[in-house]
């Protein structure tokens, strides 16, 4: 029989989000209300699985998180691993979960898993999925096979890599997908089964500054170039474009981006939600061959939102020269 002294240490923190929300009669909807201790109390099985270190780091809807806040979250998670935690779990809102997971994955230096989860239904709703997702996250976090995989997102009994996962539906409990490649693994009867591995690069250095900005704009039919040309005037340090198809823009945008790329790094990704940008297929003005000739980087498999995070962190540590190697 496992004694308390034999149990592994597991750190769990909450940032807020739907998983923490209850109905507020005055607001007419749900709002963050449950701290981490109350979330953990909904899953008493956790007490038998690990020695728990529980903390509420924030009670925010996830759209209100920002990069400096995530650096504070990273510092807390790092301190927990250094104090003996075998893994860390973070609960937060699903709206920005794919972005926060990737941000933390880029700077996470440990083999110890950092597992992120949340809920699509609030604690006030029948069939709320928060408790089930939390125990699944713990099962993944404590599994020996989860080490060295970086930041993992666990939702709906699926395990996703931070670099691949996307929220693909607004309200469905099965909202999280990894387009093109599928989830890394599944929860089966309380155990995680991994189907394939994830290749990770060395963690990026922590930011030396946080006051710089990276813009994200989407190309669309008939769009003018006014916002594009304002990017350099407004002091942005980098630009990401969610391009048509395999990473394409209009002729007018191609000319504008060529001018901008002489002043700051520009990345073009695909806005489609699945598949990579092309590199050597299309030769028209605004196609990827033309854009690369103008010094613009193609994102490959990385989605526009994650390109922005990668570029922000590279610029933050003066490592923008490494951008090409990260987009391969």
Listing DSSP states for 53-80 in one string gives EEEEEEEE-GGG--HHHHHHHHHHHHHH
pLDDT band at 328 (very low <50, low <70, confident <90, very high): confident
| Residue-wise pLDDT tens digits, 86-98 | 999 999 999 999 9
At 294, list the tokens. 């103008």
Q: In this structure, what token pair is assigned to residue 46?
A: 């956790």
182-193 average pLDDT score? 97
Start-end of H helices in the chain: 36-41, 46-49, 67-82, 97-107, 130-142, 226-233, 251-261, 288-293, 304-316, 323-326
pLDDT tens readout for residues 294-317: 999 999 999 999 999 999 999 999
Rg of the chain over CA atoms, in angstroms? 21
For all residues of the chain together, what is the average pLDDT?
96
pLDDT for the residue numbered 286: 98
User: If one looks up domain 214-326 in CATH, what number appears?
Assistant: 3.40.50.40
pLDDT at residue 46, as a whole number: 98
Banded model confidence at residue 26, pLDDT cuts 50, 70, 90: confident
Closest CA to 90 of 106, 74, 79: 74
Span 71-96, average pLDDT: 98
* Residue range 7-194 in CATH 3.40.50.1170: yes
pLDDT reading at 54 higher than 90: yes
CB 161 within 8 A of CB 57: no
Q: What is the model's pLDDT at position 3?
A: 55
* Domain boundary assignment for the chain: 7-194, 214-326
Q: Do domains 7-194 and 214-326 have the same CATH topology?
A: yes
The mean per-residue pLDDT over the stretch 274-292 comes to 98
Query: At residue 72, does pLDDT exceed 70?
Result: yes
- In the DSSP assignment, the letter for residue 15 is E
Per-residue model confidence (pLDDT) at position 25 = 84
Instruction: Work out the average pLDDT over 33-42.
Output: 97
Q: What is the mean pLDDT of residues 237-264?
A: 98
Q: Are the C-beta atoms of residues 20 and 59 closer than 8 Å to each other?
A: yes
pLDDT at residue 5 is higher than 80: no
Between CA 296 and CA 257 the distance in angstroms is 8
pLDDT value at residue 4:
55
pTM of this prediction? 0.96
């Amino acid at each position: 029989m496992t004694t308390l002294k034999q149990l592994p240490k597991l750190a769990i923190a909450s940032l807020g989000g739907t998983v923490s929300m209850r109905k507020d009669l005055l607001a007419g909807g749900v709002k963050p209300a449950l701290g981490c201790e109350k979330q953990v109390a909904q899953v008493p099985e956790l007490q038998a699985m690990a020695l728990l270190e529980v903390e509420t780091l924030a009670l925010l809807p996830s759209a209100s998180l920002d990069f400096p806040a995530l650096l504070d979250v990273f510092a807390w998670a790092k301190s927990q691993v250094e104090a003996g935690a075998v893994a860390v779990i973070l609960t937060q809102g699903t709206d920005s979960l794919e972005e926060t997971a990737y941000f933390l994955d880029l700077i996470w230096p440990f083999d110890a898993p950092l597992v992120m989860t949340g809920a699509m239904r609030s604690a006030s709703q029948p069939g709320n999925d928060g408790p089930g997702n939390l125990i699944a996250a713990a099962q993944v976090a404590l599994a020996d096979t989860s080490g060295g995989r970086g930041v993992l997102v666990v939702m709906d009994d699926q395990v996703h890599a931070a670099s691949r996962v996307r929220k693909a539906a607004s309200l469905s409990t099965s909202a999280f997908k990894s387009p093109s490649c599928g989830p890394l693994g599944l929860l089966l009867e309380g155990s995680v089964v991994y189907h394939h591995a994830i290749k990770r690069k060395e963690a990026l250095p922590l930011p030396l500054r946080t006051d710089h900005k990276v813009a994200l704009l989407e190309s669309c039919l008939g769009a003018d170039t006014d916002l594009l040309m304002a990017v350099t005037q407004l002091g942005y340090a980098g630009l990401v474009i969610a391009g048509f198809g395999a990473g394409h823009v209009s002729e007018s945008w191609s000319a504008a981006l060529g001018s901008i790329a002489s002043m700051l790094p520009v990345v073009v990704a695909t806005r489609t939600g699945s598949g990579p940008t092309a590199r050597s297929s299309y030769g028209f003005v605004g196609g990827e061959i033309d854009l690369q000739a103008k010094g613009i980087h193609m994102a490959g498999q990385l989605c526009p939102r994650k390109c922005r995070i990668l570029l922000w962190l590279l610029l933050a540590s003066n490592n923008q020269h490494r951008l090409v190697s990260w987009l391969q």
